[in-house]
């Protein structure tokens, strides 16, 4: 990447990270001034990358789904060619992020704040359809995929519902879900 493009990408990243922190703390109504200050850039510098708050929030939502998809891709075991390899990577990517209760709480606050922004629902719906399509060719029964992925999502709520995640309980849930991706305990008959 030429130096100027690299700088552009770096500033964009800095602004998105600052926006994630401030929106998680203050909600989607946070001003561009506050985000610019948190990012350590001028407001005109920020506006050079994102034309408006709406555009920044939509880019942030897209960045969140892209980052998670990249984490799942990175968690795919290249030596694993059995059915369920993508679901296994999904479970691993989620549980890898569950050690830090503060980070999860911030992530959920950010997601809840973004969910109220017009246009974000469409980004999430498109992403959900892409996951559904990807899981269709992963070789597991759709009911099994549904239960495993919902249970993995639900595990992140222990921070909010159980007063923090218990490492032993997380490990037990993770192993149980991974065993379900290997077709063990076939619950669909």
- Picking from 117, 127, 109, 6, the residue whose alpha carbon sits closest to that of residue 54 is 117
Does 16 bind a second copy (CB under 8 A)? Our answer is: no
Least distance from C-beta 78 to a second copy, angstroms?
27
Binding a second copy (rule: CB under 8 A), the pick from 128, 130, 136, 167 is 128
Burial class (CB in 10 A: 0-12, 13-18, 19+), 39: buried
Residue number with CB closer to a second copy (41 or 155): 155
Q: Are 187 and 147 in contact (CB under 8 A)?
A: yes
Q: Which of 38-46, 50-58, 75-83, 147-155 is the region at the interface with a second copy (rule: CB under 8 A)?
A: 147-155
Does 186 bind a second copy (CB under 8 A)? Our answer is: yes
# residues contacting a second copy (CB under 8 A): 50
Q: How far apart are CA 119 and CA 144, in angstroms?
A: 31
Two tokens at 116?
A: 């109220």
Separation of CA 161 from chain center: 19
Residue number with CB closer to a second copy (89 or 180): 180
Element (H, E) at 19: helix 3-26
Q: Which of 6-14, 42-50, 79-87, 175-183 is the region at the interface with a second copy (rule: CB under 8 A)?
A: 175-183
Binding a second copy (rule: CB under 8 A), the pick from 143, 167, 171, 182 is 143
Q: How far apart are CA 165 and CA 19, in angstroms?
A: 26
Instruction: Summarize as ranges the residues that interact with a second copy (CB under 8 A).
Output: 25-27, 101, 105, 108-109, 111-116, 120-125, 127-128, 143, 146-147, 149-157, 159-164, 172-173, 176-177, 180, 184-189
């Amino acid at each position: 990447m030429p130096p100027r493009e690299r700088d552009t990408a770096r500033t964009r990243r800095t602004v998105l990270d600052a926006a994630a922190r401030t929106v998680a703390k203050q909600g989607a109504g946070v001003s561009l001034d506050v985000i610019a200050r948190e990012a350590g850039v001028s407001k005109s510098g920020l506006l050079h990358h994102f034309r408006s708050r709406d555009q920044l929030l939509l880019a942030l939502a897209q960045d969140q789904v892209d980052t998670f998809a990249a984490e799942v891709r990175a968690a795919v075991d290249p030596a694993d060619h059995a059915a369920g390899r993508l679901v296994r990577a999904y479970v691993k990517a989620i549980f890898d992020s569950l050690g830090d209760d503060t980070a999860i709480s911030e992530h959920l606050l950010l997601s809840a704040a973004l969910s109220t922004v017009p246009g974000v629902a469409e980004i999430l719906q498109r992403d959900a359809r892409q996951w559904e399509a990807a899981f269709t060719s992963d070789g597991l029964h759709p009911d099994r995929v549904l239960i495993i992925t919902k249970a993995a999502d639900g595990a992140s709520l222990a921070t909010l519902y159980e007063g923090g995640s218990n490492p032993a309980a997380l490990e037990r849930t993770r192993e149980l879900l991974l065993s379900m991706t290997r077709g063990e305990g076939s619950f669909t008959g």
